[in-house]
Structure 1
Amino acid sequence: MIRQLVLELGHRPASGREDFLVAPSNEAAVALIDSWPDWPDRIVALAGPEGSGKTHLAEVWRAASGAEMIAAEKLAKADIPALVAKGALILEDLATLDPAGERALFHLINLVRAEGASLLITARDPVARLPLKLPDLVSRLRALPGAELGAPDDALLSGILVKLFDDRQLRVTPQVVSYLASRIERSVAAARKIVEELDRTSLSGKRPITVPLAAEILGRD
């Protein structure tokens, strides 16, 4: 079960992989993952831009289901029956699928349903809009239930920043969090990068993490 964390700007202990910050931009995807094994289909898809949290959610589901994980670009050379025999599978980054991989995915989808396994597919764009060539595969992907994750809003991005600072046992003021949330790219990757840079610069220069320090680092980019 994914726990909804309060998006406050106070101190919170570092959380494990099973914890997730829930907001309007990702709540449909969280609900879908949380509903396993009562999914609407044996196969579901998560779509969202880099840093939106789909990999984190896939990891949450992997921990719950014991799923095997494979990159789409490696599917063409994979042992499909052996993968399906695991009972649960995550296929990551569908856009990297090549023509041989398309045929493998078609076989995988059919076998997952035949064997009663579970398959989670992730992609940056909705799977129905990917430029795939195999007509039968395209029709199957268009029929899949799924959810999209959007870029973090202000509240979610602030919560992410707080969590990242807490994970490093760094105390910062709400003003620093607010300053960063309004200026960095709206993604987990950007939040992680700025927190890492602030931690490193603060430690090396023995300086507290303040709004001026944040402004200094953002000015370098």
Structure 2
Amino acid sequence: MQQMLLDINPLPLPTLENFLPGRNAELMHTLANILSGEEKERFIYLWGNPGCGKSHLLQAIVMAYTQKNTKAMYGCAKNYQRFCVDNAVDCFVIDDIDYLDAAGQAELFSLYNRLREEGHSLLLVSGSTAPVYLNMRQDLVTRLGWGLVYQVHELTEEEKIFAMQAHATDCGYMLSQEICLYLLRHGRRDLPSLMMTLDALDRYSLVHQRPITIPLLRELLQVDS
């Protein structure tokens, strides 16, 4: 079993700048245009597999709106209570809408219709699959498909290795492909977790005055050989 060190630094706050785009260049361009006011579409649906970065992007948009002194609301359907209906909100962000029950779907349907009628606030939501495959009320599914729909593509293994090695170089050490592959095989594969592990490995190596090797990484993670 893998056990992470307790003293690993917390993950950095999600921003568009610290999201590695990979095959998501068009989506990143659209999100940047939204923040600059160049994109007129106000309804955007993101979907993709766990770990692809959907939540990162949604939270990054909320942070960007907040930094512009505009009001944004983030909610996750896994912890759904009720959606904010404040007319002063400029950006509504709802993550993992697959988890909405019937009452939550009805509320999202009403929110969508209200925002479409008012025409100024952004509604950015995410799910695990394309709208047409969502197991939700069909009138809501139809509306989710009216706006922009993007699949968020997870980084390829090669892209993750490149990102890890670039991060290591920025921190002043060389990282072998062997170490990268080991992390991809034995750890969490999302990029923030991989970077967090690398930072812990770097500190562990410095504290113990030992080079970064597979045995040192196993020791850090307490993984059996």
**3-state SS, counterpart of residue 77 of structure 1:** coil
Residue 62 (structure 1) aligns with: 62
**Aligned-partner Cα distance in 2 for 1:65–1:86:** 10
Residues 96 and 193 of structure 1: is their aligned pair in 2 closer, same or farther, counting only changes over 3 Å? farther
**Aligned-partner Cα distance in 1 for 2:157–2:163:** 10
Residues 182 and 105 of structure 1: is their aligned pair in 2 closer, same or farther, counting only changes over 3 Å? closer
Aligned residues: 203
How far did residue 177 of structure 1 move? 5.3
TM-score, length-normalised on structure 1?
0.73
How far did residue 148 of structure 1 move? 0.8
**Aligned-partner Cα distance in 2 for 1:220–1:198:** 17
User: Which segment is superposed worse, 147-156 or 173-182?
Assistant: 173-182
Residue 105 (structure 1) aligns with: 108
Residue 118 (structure 1) aligns with: 122
Does the 8 Å contact 1:75/1:104 carry over to 2? no
Alignment of 1:33 with 2:12, yes or no, is no
Aligned residue type for 2:22: A
Residue 132 (structure 2) aligns with: 128
Q: CA RMSD in A?
A: 3.3
**3-state SS, counterpart of residue 90 of structure 1:** strand
- Structure 2: unaligned runs, 5 residues or longer: 1-11, 67-71
Q: Percent identity?
A: 25
Residues 166 and 98 of structure 1: is their aligned pair in 2 closer, same or farther, counting only changes over 3 Å? farther
1:184-195 aligned within 5 A: 186-188=189-191, 191-192=194-195, 194-195=197-198
| 2:141 paired residue among 138, 142, 151 | 138
Q: Deviations over 1:84-121 (max 9, x none)?
A: 42111111111121110000000110111122211111
- Structure 1: unaligned runs, 5 residues or longer: 1-13
Q: Deviations over 1:48-83 (max 9, x none)?
A: 222212222223322333322112245552342x1x
TM-score, length-normalised on structure 2?
0.72
Does the 8 Å contact 2:161/2:177 carry over to 1? no
Residues 96 and 220 of structure 1: is their aligned pair in 2 closer, same or farther, counting only changes over 3 Å? farther
How far did residue 142 of structure 1 move? 2.8
